[in-house]
Structure 1
Amino acid sequence: MQAEIGTPEAVGLSSERLERIVPWMRGYVEAGKLPGLSVTVARRGQVVFSRSAGLRDLARGLPMDDDTIVRIYSMTKPLTSVAILMLYEEGRFQLDDPITRFLPEFRNMRVLVGGSRAKPETVPAERDITFRDLLTHTSGLTYGFMDATLVDRMYREEGVDFQTAETSLADVVAKAAGLPLLAQPGAEWNYSIATDVLGHLVAVISGQPFDAFLRERIIRPLGMVDTDFHVPPEKIARFASNYALGEGGRLTLIDDAREGRYAKPRSVPSGGGGLVSTASDYARFCRFMLGGGALDGVRLLGRKTVALMTANHLRGDLADMGQPRFSESSYSGIGFGLGVSVMLDPAKAQILGTPGEVAWGGAASTAFWIDPAEDLFVILLTQLMPSSTWPIRRELRVLTYAALIE
């Protein structure tokens, strides 16, 4: 059962103000800044705005539609977090348990403190990485693409890349375990491969391949019919191509919909960024979260677990947790829960919002946020890398919240 289609005024939103989103969308397309995009707004269980603009495939002239399939990249992370929390609810582990219970390769980790690639200087980790560290990105792991530290460089040189690896999930995790940490576990917030490690932990603890677990225990029960780690032949015509800004600021193809790596099954299912999905599918996930862990009579998590997941687990906001090198959100006024960011202080974040609102985005400029206090969620889908190219997420937040009238 899909969300009901309603009128904005019936759920306390202004039709006139929501319509401001349309010229905003068209403006980005007509200026050649985005290939195409879609926006979905829902409140009190009813979708009241669902519009698309531009093209999903520039070369083929195919329009961006409501059922366009896109790479959601890091919007995969909340689903992986739900998967590991389902196992937590089964009593398989506690959040403060060391992951070495299941992944002994992470024993005796070392932390980089200086030196060079030829002669890195490290000290012993003060404690093991815990499940909570992974869920909150405070594990000391990193991402190679950030290219900001010596550890990032080591990741690239050793092939710690869950997007491009063609071996196995276990193999890439083992490579990461053989490299130094960027910081002591629990000390700093650093966006990282932590959720990919959680995907491997799901496989190890459940005894089931991670991608199979996600499909059978989450994706299918929630009715997310177009969400997977690749796009099958019968759906490939609906898949969007991916772009970046090239020479002269022109949109340049970086991954073709029909010839790219998503057109066939992946060897390494990335829990940190491997899924494709649609607006209607991700709306079902948002409804599940707003429903306290249940959707259409299907319960995957208890409401207290969802409450824990969406609470801030940091000592303050992201800005208080060292010097974050990259995030799909701003730092000030934003905390982090178990797999999602958490709004703490809209004034400090300098953006409209509500304390307790959860969110995240993906590398191709996609985003979602869920506002329990307003019983509202918003989904933004497009395909442009990197996600920091244009301030579309913040602009859409203003346009959406300005439409609230009750």
Structure 2
Amino acid sequence: MQKLTPFTLITLITLFALQSCTQENKNQLKFADTTKIDDVIDHYVDEDFYPFVYARIEDLDGNMIYEHSAVNKTLLPNTEVNGDTWVRIWSMSKIVTISTVLDLIEDGALQLDDPVTNYIPEFKNLKVAVSDNGSSLLDSEWQNKENACPIKLVSNDSVMTVRHLINHQAGFYYATTGFSCIDSLIAKQNLPKAKNSDELIKKMSELPLIQHSGTDYFYGTNTTVLGLVAERATGKNLNELVKERITDPMHIEGLRYRLPENIDLLPRFTGRDSVLRVARKGELDILGPDVPDYDVNHPLYLGGEGMVATADGYADFVRMLLKRGELNNYRFLDKETVEDIYAPHTQKDSPYGYNGYNLWISGESMETKKQGEAGLWIGGGYECTYFWADPKRNFVGIIMSQNNAVRKPGYELNDSFRSAVYQQIWASEEENKYTSN
């Protein structure tokens, strides 16, 4: 065997390093021209669909690959929106709460198949709302939902578990089901006005379920109850649990239940009258007449709706999921636990993908429509916040706005933006494939 001289060895190492750098640069996501992507965001703001839109893309290590912001200066004069702007994220709180509970499960504080009443005995006598003829409100015969009213109440025929809460199968719902006979009940309770978690539990214990637990998927306040279970299981509130288990050890600055001092949230907007305007009290009625207040003196933490975040901070959280449970040299969740989050759990027969643990996994139809690819992890919130993660290319996309009831076709923003992003990605990958050959 021929001996390597020092010069030859140094040359080989140099060539190997250059080859590695070239391969790394080739695989790194980048956009040569962002004009078409910027134009999508500008269009939806210029046409008064949204008061502002801020979009951001980060790679696995948190390096910013793309950002763009557009603000309607008529509605928000002298306002700058960037990656550090605090916004209400509503249902993007859910995956945070679910992750917290999965961490508690890893620690043995509770189990997926524990009965909810082990922690919330006040729910032992929960009833199920059925139609006057005894059929489920979710039966297809009630396409005209008013025909199902008035309701009658029957006993829940199964044991509600922690798993049911995570999978939206427990039977809790929002005040927007379309069945006036139960929407009016939850609106009357006005859940965000509960003084604390115990009063919230009392209010919810007086409401019927919309289905027998475990029988179907129905999106609602299930994750809110999940947060209450976490509090009862640990003796700590959700604010403390998130800080101790997520944001402090992983150094995530922009994700919390309470606003930092001297920070004001942007106004609430709606397009429900086909004109974008400031929303009036009661128009964001998903929980009843009121909404979460984020008041530091109000010890109520809604695990399904109650967090605020910056785009930068929420991207950090999603990057933790992409890194399979680890961020900034701290392991939060086991790799197997994160894999379970994006595994199929409900809505498995949907042509558009399936639901993991409150994380939508896109199907082939997204690529057919040229809006992305199968296998993307997707979530969003009530006031038009949105995120997705691409586990194939290891990047995170965040879209932040604050609007409810967007007029048509403004709701196409997320698909349009994602489409513009992937059109560039596919073109770049095709070019790299051609040049490499």
Same fold by TM-score greater than 0.5 = yes
Give the AA of the match of 2:80. P
Match of 1:276 among 273, 296, 308: 308
Contact 1:8 1:48 in 2 (8 A): no
In the TM superposition, residue 274 of structure 1 has moved relative to its aligned partner by 0.9
Match of 2:388 among 358, 369, 375: 369
In the TM superposition, residue 127 of structure 1 has moved relative to its aligned partner by 0.9
Matched residues in 1 for 2:46 and 2:396: separation? 27
In the TM superposition, residue 397 of structure 1 has moved relative to its aligned partner by 1.8
Structure 2 match to 1:328: none
Structure 2 match to 1:137: 168
Structure 2 match to 1:312: 344
Is it true that 1:107 corresponds to 2:108 in the alignment?
no
Aligned 1:93-242 pairs, distance under 5 A: 93-115=110-132, 120-148=151-179, 150-159=181-190, 161=191, 164-236=192-264, 239-242=265-268
Matched residues in 1 for 2:197 and 2:395: separation? 35
1:166/1:175 Cα in 2 relative to 1: closer, same or farther (>3 Å)?
closer
Q: Whose strand fraction is larger, Structure 1's or Structure 2's? A: 1
Matched residues in 2 for 1:218 and 1:8: separation? 32
Q: What CA deviation, in whole Å up to 9, does each residue of 1:315-334 have, x standing for no partner? A: 624x5xxxxxxxxxxxx423
Matched residues in 1 for 2:73 and 2:85: separation? 7
Contact 1:333 1:348 in 2 (8 A): no
Is it true that 1:293 corresponds to 2:293 in the alignment?
no
Structure 2 match to 1:380: 399
In the TM superposition, residue 349 of structure 1 has moved relative to its aligned partner by 8.6
Matched residues in 1 for 2:127 and 2:370: separation? 39
SS class of match (2:158): coil
Is it true that 1:32 corresponds to 2:55 in the alignment?
no
Structure 2 match to 1:88: 105
Instruction: Give the structure-2-normalised TM-score.
Output: 0.79
Instruction: Give the structure-1-normalised TM-score.
Output: 0.84
SS class of match (1:126): coil
SS class of match (1:121): strand
Q: What CA deviation, in whole Å up to 9, does each residue of 1:102-137 have, x standing for no partner? A: 112222432222139996323322211111111111
Matched residues in 2 for 1:88 and 1:178: separation? 29
Two-structure CA RMSD over aligned residues (Å): 2.8
SS class of match (1:64): coil
- Give the length in aligned residue pairs: 377
Contact 1:290 1:375 in 2 (8 A): yes
Larger radius of gyration: 2
Matched residues in 1 for 2:27 and 2:397: separation? 17
Matched residues in 2 for 1:298 and 1:39: separation? 27
In the TM superposition, residue 247 of structure 1 has moved relative to its aligned partner by 5.0
SS class of match (1:234): coil
Shifted more, 39-48 versus 87-96: the winner is 39-48
1:300/1:403 Cα in 2 relative to 1: closer, same or farther (>3 Å)?
same
Match of 1:356 among 341, 362, 375: 375
Q: What CA deviation, in whole Å up to 9, does each residue of 1:259-300 have, x standing for no partner? A: x94465433211111111111101110110111001011111
Q: What CA deviation, in whole Å up to 9, does each residue of 1:214-251 have, x standing for no partner? A: 12221222322232223233333xx4222112656133
Identity of aligned residues (%): 24
Matched residues in 1 for 2:200 and 2:68: separation? 39
5+ residue gaps, structure 2: 1-23, 133-146, 282-291, 430-437
1:127/1:394 Cα in 2 relative to 1: closer, same or farther (>3 Å)?
same
Contact 1:80 1:198 in 2 (8 A): yes
1:387/1:342 Cα in 2 relative to 1: closer, same or farther (>3 Å)?
farther
Structure 2 match to 1:323: none
Structure 2 match to 1:243: 269
5+ residue gaps, structure 1: 1-6, 320-331
Give the AA of the match of 1:280. D
